Amino acid sequence: MIVRTLLAAIVAGLIAGVFMTGAQELRVVPLILHAEEFEGEAPAAGEQPAAQPGTVDPAAASHDQHSSLKAVSPIGTLLDALSPITPAYAHEGEHEEGGIMFGMSRFSGTLIANLVTGSGFALLLAGVSLVIGYPITLRNGALWGACGWLAVHMLPAIGLPPELPGFPAAELGDRQVWWLATVALSAVGLYLLVLREEIVAKIIGLVLIAAPHVYGAPQPSDISSNVPAVLGAEFAVAALATTLAFWIVLGVVSGFINDRFAKA
Amino acid sequence: MATSTVSSIPLSLSDRLTAGIIALLIGGFLVFGAGLANSAVLHDTAHDTRHSYGFPCH
């Protein structure tokens, strides 16, 4: 029964991941490719944020894909140490197809990443639903999805908008910690706000949602960039719109599968 | 809390919590690997996905 519940979530995630790949190719990926043209033009000015000076040689980074082998903060090192996936193990790591990760086309990599991410978010959504005891159904699936989008994308985007390659940004580890904390606080806050009856719980929920924004997201010290602002605006909207569609598909499909198969 | 809605999930409370926690752990692992892990191979493979989802990247 447990396996069946988990499988239902994974199937929903795979379906949503395929959908997401199609949606990305329409609008988001072309904007990323466009931005990378500017990123490659004058690496000295905009390639790296000032917060990470001199730790990566822009010429060494490949033209269209940058390696993450760059400035590693203490927190980044800690995350790295906690991660079971290291470059050495990546081949046999989380992806069955790991052996061909280097050889895959960019599109295949994106597709697989979307499938993994979709399954991951689907499992997280199902896990939250199971732990708090509110099932995802076909009727409420879209609302589940919308709350997932709020917690994982919209609310964190207030502090850290979806960024294009070449955009200035603060230290990666700091942003990841702020992002994770904001997602967690937003999720708890939404639960208290939406699903709890008590007025006190709703107020605490609002406070939790607001807290990371009052604290403030890590900001870059130098905000100059070669990438045109128009592209950034278009990208931020496109990224939020596609992720909203992704989460609604994920919620509705999860609800449908739960209603149809997981219950039986 | 909300025991009336729990009944539509055909799992006992302990099974439900077990399944939920397993789902959270596996889901967190997958999202971490695709979105946040500081590995060059994973980063490059998932590059466009990370940007599209707004994961902190680079």
Residues A151-182 pLDDT 10s: 999 999 999 999 898 888 888 989 999 999 99
Greater model confidence, A43 or A116: A116
Whether the CB of B12 is below 8 Å from some CB of chain A: the reply is: no
- Counting residues of chain A whose pLDDT is more than 70, the rounded percentage is 75
Whether the CB of B30 is below 8 Å from some CB of chain A: the reply is: yes
pLDDT score, position A50:
42
Q: Do B23 and A130 touch (CB under 8 A)?
A: yes
Q: Do B56 and A76 touch (CB under 8 A)?
A: no
Q: What is the pLDDT of residues A72-82, one digit of tens each?
A: 455 555 555 55
Greater model confidence, B13 or A135: A135
**SS3 annotation, A65-95:** CCCCCCCCCHHHHHHHHHCCCCCCCHHHCCC
Q: Do B43 and A135 touch (CB under 8 A)?
A: no
Return the closest-CA partner of residue A218 out of A150, A149, A154, A163: A163
DSSP-derived secondary structure letter, A217: -
Please state the separation of Cα A178 from the chain's center in Å: 13
Whether the CB of B1 is below 8 Å from some CB of chain A: the reply is: yes
pLDDT mean across residues, chain A: 81
Count of CB pairs separated by less than 8 Å, A with B: 228
What's the rounded Cα separation, in Å, for the pair A98 and A103? Answer: 10
Q: Which residues of B touch A164 (CB under 8 A)?
A: 51
Q: Number of H helices and number of E strands within chain B?
A: 4, 0
Band (pLDDT 50/70/90 cuts) for residue A225 is confident
Is the ipTM higher than 0.85? The answer is no
Out of A109, A165, A172, name the one closest to residue B45 (CB). Answer: A109
CB B22 within 8 A of CB A6: yes
Residue entry with tokens 């596996």: B26
Whether the CB of B11 is below 8 Å from some CB of chain A: the reply is: yes
Residue ranges of the alpha helices (H) in chain A? 2-23, 29-41, 43-46, 74-82, 106-132, 141-149, 155-159, 172-195, 199-215, 229-257
Band (pLDDT 50/70/90 cuts) for residue A264 is low
What's the rounded Cα separation, in Å, for the pair A172 and B38? Answer: 10
pLDDT above 70: residue A203: yes
Please state the separation of Cα A39 from the chain's center in Å: 22
Q: Which amino acid is at A262?
A: A
Q: Which residues of A touch B4 (CB under 8 A)?
A: none
Out of B11, B31, B43, name the one closest to residue A117 (CB). Answer: B31
What's the rounded Cα separation, in Å, for the pair A215 and B13? Answer: 37
Q: Do B22 and A67 touch (CB under 8 A)?
A: no
pLDDT score, position A105:
84
DSSP-derived secondary structure letter, A227: S
Q: Do B2 and A133 touch (CB under 8 A)?
A: yes
Q: What is the pLDDT of residues A6-29, one digit of tens each?
A: 999 999 999 999 999 999 999 899
Band (pLDDT 50/70/90 cuts) for residue A262 is low
Q: Tell me the three state secondary structure of residue B39.
A: coil
- Closest approach of A105 to chain B, Cα-based (Å): 9
Q: Which residues of B touch A178 (CB under 8 A)?
A: 56
Whether the CB of B48 is below 8 Å from some CB of chain A: the reply is: yes
Out of B5, B41, B52, name the one closest to residue A24 (CB). Answer: B52
Sign, CA dihedral A161-A166-A167-A171, equals positive
Interface test with chain A among B13, B15, B25, B47, by most A beta carbons within 10 Å: B47
Q: Do B56 and A129 touch (CB under 8 A)?
A: no
What's the rounded Cα separation, in Å, for the pair A211 and B56? Answer: 19
Return the closest-CA partner of residue A223 out of A56, A51, A72, A69: A51
Helices A172-195, A199-215: inter-axial angle, 10-degree rounding:
160
pLDDT score, position B14:
87
What's the rounded Cα separation, in Å, for the pair B4 and A236? Answer: 41
pLDDT above 60: residue B5: no
Return the closest-CA partner of residue B4 out of A173, A135, A255, A129: A135
- 3-state percent breakdown (helix, strand, coil) of chain B, nearest 5: 70, 0, 30
Band (pLDDT 50/70/90 cuts) for residue B2 is very low
Q: Which residue of B has its CA nearest to A245?
A: B53
pLDDT score, position A93:
40
> What six digits make up the tokens of A6?
């988990």
